[in-house]
Structure 1
Amino acid sequence: MSFISASLPIIKKNLSQYFILAFLFSMLIQIWPAVFTQPLRFVIRIAICNALLLLSAAAIYRYLLGKIASVLLTAALTLNFAISFCTWRIYQSEFSSVFAMSILTTHMSEISSMSGLFTYYFPIIALYFTITMLAIHYLAGNTSTTVKHGGACLLVVFFAWYTSANWLKQRKDLEVYYPLSSRILTNTPFYVASEFIIAVRDNKLAEHIYKHDTQYPAVSVSDTGIENFVVIVGESARRSNMQLYGFGLDTTPVESAFSNNALVFEHAIAPASATVLAVPMILSKADADHFTVNDLADNVIRVANKAGFHTEWISAQGNSGKSNNYVVAIASLSQKAQWVDTSYDEELLPELDKALTVAGRKLIVLHINGSHEMACIRYPASADYYHTDDKYEDCYNNAIRYTDHVIGEVTKRLGNSTSALLYFSDHGLEKNPQLESHYMHGSRNPSKEAYDVPQFIWYSPAALASKPRRLGKVEERYSTANNYELILSLMGISTGIPHCKSPLEPCYQPETSFSVMDGGRHIFEYDDLRSNFSSPDVNSHYRKADKDSL
């Protein structure tokens, strides 16, 4: 015992000489997963903030409360490292709000069954906690007061800088999806917490929309002679790249062939240039000026449920995250909603087959990936049709043609029943000659091509035989924000309020003004926008959304 007692001071002194190594080792372990999943600038910010946090902890370590705070800080850093490290090692991915939402909704039985995936990494996680505590302990005893206090002051400056910078950015771009707390934490070693904040926000939003009880004067259903109503929500499809609308390449052979059995909208205009805004406005009462929980809650899924239809949502897109939160809130109202892990949109068809076996009238929504960037990964090798010297132009046109193939497969499944299919794209894309991949979502100063989309209603032969249908073309300009009324009109559903924005109704009157929104929530008049991305900049005037909008 005396030998051990005599040896401890010597061991402690020798270890204290390596406090710099403990400090650096702790830093390296913390940024380890970020190096493989994040940009260099992100890794540098994390490393700087991590160093300042350890120095600040060392500055107060000599006090009891300082030691307690140091343990709590180390525990928080360890938790962030553990989650990001395990996500990277197991899933080869960065941690995202999708993972955060999964964790928040995981039951204890699922945790127990999955624990084996993570126990292998417990020694590394424990090592990080131990080394970080040693680093703080030895920094406290071997670093000058000036350095420690300087680190604490710089930490205050670091947080003040990123808080003010993100606050100003949030005000400038009107971006409300990322809460300020989430924006700030993204720049720190607690970046995992940022994704949990977003996941909690998405869950609350979906819950509010789900629980909101929209009242209608009177819901009734007339006999349309149609049993299956299928809506395909397309993605990033430019009308100008489709043969159906006069494009020089045969990108839509299927759609062009059945156009005589369809009502084709010649000049459809999307209400927004981003999915997260466009799709909810297309399927609900929300519009560019009024994007509220009440408006989103009044949507075609909820009305169809009240009218006695079986409703299903089958999606190839994610069920969380910035691009999907409002969409998922509406989709979750379906009697059956599923997000299928797919490589290509055609993989949704088996689920469609199952949905079509349900008896009675039904509304089935297919949300596809379409031609979203990067278009080269949106179709299988068998659909690699175009081969020119322009790779990315070929990729985009191949993706459009593959979507046409998927639409054809859907119509084959509907051909022997009384069915109607509505297809539209959520938004268009701008063509930027300076961009290697050519196509991009609408910019802060968008052009009309960011909103010019395809839309048509196709009827099966049996549906055409059952009752007269409006076929041909809708020549005038039409906002897909009116699809809420169009879909209800198509399904024969009345809410007690006239649906005069639907071209299928006798009271229909074409609109002359079209409000559209960009990704930063600036609202423009469509007529004020330049024709395309390469047109001269016209500095279009914009306004802000209603103060009550989300």
Structure 2
Amino acid sequence: MSFAKASALTINKKLSGHFLILLLLSVAIQLWPVLFTQPVRFAVRIALCNVFLLLAAAAVYRYLPGKIIAFILTALLTLNFAIAFSTWNVYQSEFNTVFAMSILATHLAEAKSMSGLYLRSIPVVLGYFFVTWYAIKSLSENLSGRMKTLGVILLVIYVGWYSTANWLKKRKDLEVYYPLSARILTNTPFYTGAEFIIAHRDSALAEKISQKNVHYPALQYQDTGIENYVVIVGESARRSNMQLYGFNQETTPVESAFKQNALIFNHAIAPASATVLAVPMILSKADPDNFTADRLADNIVSIARKTGYHTEWISAQGHSGKSNNYIVAIASTSQKAQWINTQYDTELLPALDQALTVPGKKFIVLHINGSHEIACDRYPPSASVLNSGDKFEDCYNNAIRYTDFFIGEVAKRLQGSASSILYFSDHGLEKNPQLESLYMHGSRNPSKEAYDVPQFIWYSQKALDSQKRQLGWVQENWPTTHNYELMLSWLGISTGIENCHSLLETCYQGATLLPVMDGGRHIFDYDQLRDTFSSPARDTPWRKAKANSL
């Protein structure tokens, strides 16, 4: 007998002798992220179902088909753990629908860029796989047939009980938002799969957005004297890290020079802490309480096209299908939509140059990567200007500065014409000193940092010469969910409905409520959130969206 085979047999024998320890260890590792993010009752359900699953796998393990089943089960359990553990490890959050939508909508370049955040999880994930595999193997070899049969029976009873209970709930419409299959999976160690089911359902619903025809009482266009309107949808930009807003480093030299030609919002507040929800609400009539297909269909891209604008969507953020999420559904209502595989945002500029050659009035959206994690990948080495010695702080601030450079390049192309730029970030980021890369998306128990964003409207000199424009600083809180109404006025569009949410209208009325949504679709009052991630945690009250929300 070879040394390797003898060693393997010795290891197998030792492991088999500790089958109960392996069983408990496997379950404990699976519960690791659960205990930090979910109620105790949820952890108990997952633990029970996990034990029953391992016992059932042990019951069939001795046969070849059983070994295949055990391997597939172990792989699926490992995948669930990998997703949940990585989310908790990086974001200190449970895995939720927004994360699932982001994964379904991601592209290869973004996946490569983000992979660095999750590399440190790999040893733990691999360890879990082998512990679980040997737990099943040792249980098969050491438990009596009666115990293994009992495990199968308990698993059937458990799944049957929760399936029936959730089916009855569904019949009574107590869980309208959640598909039945998602509710059932939530009670198993495959609970992350529930979020993917919801995300896939949401992606299918997003297709309805482009199919709906919104009626306006009296759609009209009034000449604004501006030929080119460009909207730059930023990504993950913290207002507090921008020189324009008083930051102590030169992160926005271009934007800071815009002050005389711009309307700058000092307290812009995003509606959600993730792109897949924030951008659709900013560009449409949807809001955290009313996230419906009808309201998403009433979006600024569609209405600009209906009033005679040539509309283009140019994105550095990839997509996995024409209806993969709400953003793509809105983008697809434009006359031309393109997703460009870029390394840096400046690679969108040739497409912008081409769009600007189209005659007549134009409405162009540039959706950039900005300072999205990992920020070190968002700019070329030549743009590494800020060097304080703190790598990830410098990476983030240099990414903000590179976005500033990109905005400057767009402005250069527009300066000789009557043009205007609206820039805003989709959401902010929280600063977590315990995280190596420092900055992260807000999710569970968010702070105001997750929603505090920059926003301004810039006018070229020719645009300023043609008509009087509103310039200066807007000091009051501005929910970017009102950007739809703001852009209607900016573009000279009237729908026949009074537009008093627009700062540019004489009837303007400021916002009294500032609802914001976290990654789990809980709705908070912005004013009740803690100021920063490092502020003392508080039990902030929240509510669910209205029953007809997606």
Q: TM-score, normalised by structure 2?
A: 0.70
The count of aligned residue pairs is 452
Counterpart residue identity of residue 398, structure 1:
N
Q: What is residue 337 of structure 1 aligned with on the other side? A: 337
Output the CA distance in 1 between the equivalents of 2:493 and 2:404.
29
Is residue 516 of structure 2 the alignment partner of residue 516 of structure 1? yes
8 Å CA contact retained: 1:220, 1:495:
yes
8 Å CA contact retained: 1:219, 1:493:
yes
How far 1:422 sits from its partner (Å)? 0.2
8 Å CA contact retained: 2:59, 2:145:
no
SS at match of 2:363: strand
Output the CA distance in 2 between the equivalents of 1:99 and 1:426.
18
How far 1:146 sits from its partner (Å)? 5.6
- C-alpha change, 1:385 and 1:153, in structure 2 (3 Å) is farther
Is residue 356 of structure 2 the alignment partner of residue 356 of structure 1? yes
More divergent stretch after superposition (186-195 vs 222-231)? 186-195
- Give 1:410-429 correspondences, 5 Å limit: 410-429=410-429
- Give 1:51-90 correspondences, 5 Å limit: none
8 Å CA contact retained: 2:312, 2:337:
yes
How far 1:445 sits from its partner (Å)? 2.1
How far 1:388 sits from its partner (Å)? 2.2
8 Å CA contact retained: 1:275, 1:324:
no
How far 1:530 sits from its partner (Å)? 2.0
Is residue 539 of structure 2 the alignment partner of residue 542 of structure 1? no
Counterpart residue identity of residue 422, structure 1:
L
SS at match of 1:543: coil
Q: What is residue 375 of structure 1 aligned with on the other side? A: 375
Counterpart residue identity of residue 383, structure 1:
A
Q: What is residue 118 of structure 2 aligned with on the other side? A: none
- C-alpha change, 1:388 and 1:196, in structure 2 (3 Å) is closer
The gaps in structure 2 that reach 5 residues or longer are 1-29, 34-46, 80-99, 107-142, 168-173
- C-alpha change, 1:215 and 1:348, in structure 2 (3 Å) is same
Is residue 467 of structure 2 the alignment partner of residue 467 of structure 1? yes
Output the CA distance in 2 between the equivalents of 1:175 and 1:471.
47
Counterpart residue identity of residue 351, structure 2:
E
Counterpart residue identity of residue 307, structure 1:
T
Output the CA distance in 2 between the equivalents of 1:382 and 1:177.
48
SS at match of 2:289: coil
Counterpart residue identity of residue 214, structure 1:
V
Q: What is residue 366 of structure 1 aligned with on the other side? A: 366
SS at match of 1:544: coil
- Give 1:166-245 correspondences, 5 Å limit: 181=181, 201-245=201-245
8 Å CA contact retained: 1:56, 1:155:
no
Is residue 279 of structure 2 the alignment partner of residue 296 of structure 1? no
How far 1:311 sits from its partner (Å)? 1.3
- C-alpha change, 1:440 and 1:203, in structure 2 (3 Å) is closer
Output the CA distance in 1 between the equivalents of 2:162 and 2:316.
36
Q: What is residue 486 of structure 1 aligned with on the other side? A: 486
Q: Deviations for 1:234-262, whole angstroms, at most 9, x for unmatched residues?
A: 11111110000111100001111122111
How far 1:181 sits from its partner (Å)? 3.2
Counterpart residue identity of residue 350, structure 1:
P
Q: What is residue 121 of structure 2 aligned with on the other side? A: none
- Give 1:253-332 correspondences, 5 Å limit: 253-320=253-320, 325-332=325-332
Output the CA distance in 1 between the equivalents of 2:275 and 2:252.
23
Q: Deviations for 1:142-196, whole angstroms, at most 9, x for unmatched residues?
A: x9976884674465378579979999xxxxxx99998563687799999999899
SS at match of 2:498: coil
Q: Deviations for 1:442-464, whole angstroms, at most 9, x for unmatched residues?
A: 23222222211100001112211
More divergent stretch after superposition (510-519 vs 231-240)? 510-519
SS at match of 2:303: helix
- Give 1:17-96 correspondences, 5 Å limit: none
How far 1:425 sits from its partner (Å)? 0.5
Q: What is residue 106 of structure 1 aligned with on the other side? A: none
How far 1:510 sits from its partner (Å)? 2.1
Q: Deviations for 1:308-334, whole angstroms, at most 9, x for unmatched residues?
A: 21111111113249x972212211211
SS at match of 2:417: coil
More divergent stretch after superposition (192-201 vs 458-467)? 192-201
Output the CA distance in 2 between the equivalents of 1:50 and 1:512.
51
The gaps in structure 1 that reach 5 residues or longer are 1-38, 62-69, 85-95, 103-142, 168-173
More divergent stretch after superposition (147-156 vs 248-257)? 147-156
- C-alpha change, 1:161 and 1:416, in structure 2 (3 Å) is farther
- C-alpha change, 1:231 and 1:161, in structure 2 (3 Å) is farther
Output the CA distance in 1 between the equivalents of 2:199 and 2:346.
29
8 Å CA contact retained: 1:166, 1:183:
yes
How far 1:208 sits from its partner (Å)? 1.0
Output the CA distance in 1 between the equivalents of 2:372 and 2:439.
9
8 Å CA contact retained: 1:392, 1:436:
yes
Output the CA distance in 2 between the equivalents of 1:512 and 1:203.
32
Root-mean-square deviation (Å) = 4.6
Output the CA distance in 2 between the equivalents of 1:98 and 1:524.
22
- C-alpha change, 1:146 and 1:313, in structure 2 (3 Å) is same
SS at match of 1:499: coil
Counterpart residue identity of residue 518, structure 2:
D
SS at match of 2:478: strand
Counterpart residue identity of residue 468, structure 1:
K
Q: What is residue 251 of structure 1 aligned with on the other side? A: 251
Counterpart residue identity of residue 493, structure 2:
I
State the 4+ residue runs in structure 1 displaced beyond 4 angstroms: 39-42, 47-59, 96-102, 143-152, 157-167, 174-180, 182-200
Q: What is residue 25 of structure 1 aligned with on the other side? A: none
Output the CA distance in 2 between the equivalents of 1:407 and 1:161.
57
Q: What is residue 525 of structure 1 aligned with on the other side? A: 525
Q: What is residue 407 of structure 1 aligned with on the other side? A: 407
How far 1:298 sits from its partner (Å)? 0.9
Output the CA distance in 1 between the equivalents of 2:332 and 2:175.
24
Output the CA distance in 2 between the equivalents of 1:503 and 1:540.
30
SS at match of 1:423: strand
Q: Deviations for 1:66-101, whole angstroms, at most 9, x for unmatched residues?
A: xxxx89x99xx7xx99xx9xxxxxxxxxxx989989
- C-alpha change, 1:365 and 1:48, in structure 2 (3 Å) is farther
SS at match of 1:232: strand
More divergent stretch after superposition (392-401 vs 522-531)? 522-531
Counterpart residue identity of residue 485, structure 1:
E
- C-alpha change, 1:52 and 1:475, in structure 2 (3 Å) is same
Provide the identity percentage: 65
Q: What is residue 437 of structure 1 aligned with on the other side? A: 437
Output the CA distance in 2 between the equivalents of 1:542 and 1:194.
22
Output the CA distance in 2 between the equivalents of 1:243 and 1:175.
46
SS at match of 2:351: helix
Q: TM-score, normalised by structure 1?
A: 0.70
How far 1:519 sits from its partner (Å)? 1.6
8 Å CA contact retained: 2:204, 2:324:
no
Q: Deviations for 1:381-412, whole angstroms, at most 9, x for unmatched residues?
A: 12112222311111110110011011111111
Q: Which has the larger radius of gyration?
A: 1
8 Å CA contact retained: 2:203, 2:324:
no
- C-alpha change, 1:539 and 1:149, in structure 2 (3 Å) is closer
- C-alpha change, 1:286 and 1:99, in structure 2 (3 Å) is closer
How far 1:198 sits from its partner (Å)? 6.3
Q: What is residue 457 of structure 1 aligned with on the other side? A: 457
8 Å CA contact retained: 1:101, 1:199:
no
8 Å CA contact retained: 2:272, 2:278:
yes
How far 1:365 sits from its partner (Å)? 0.8
Counterpart residue identity of residue 325, structure 1:
N
8 Å CA contact retained: 2:233, 2:425:
yes
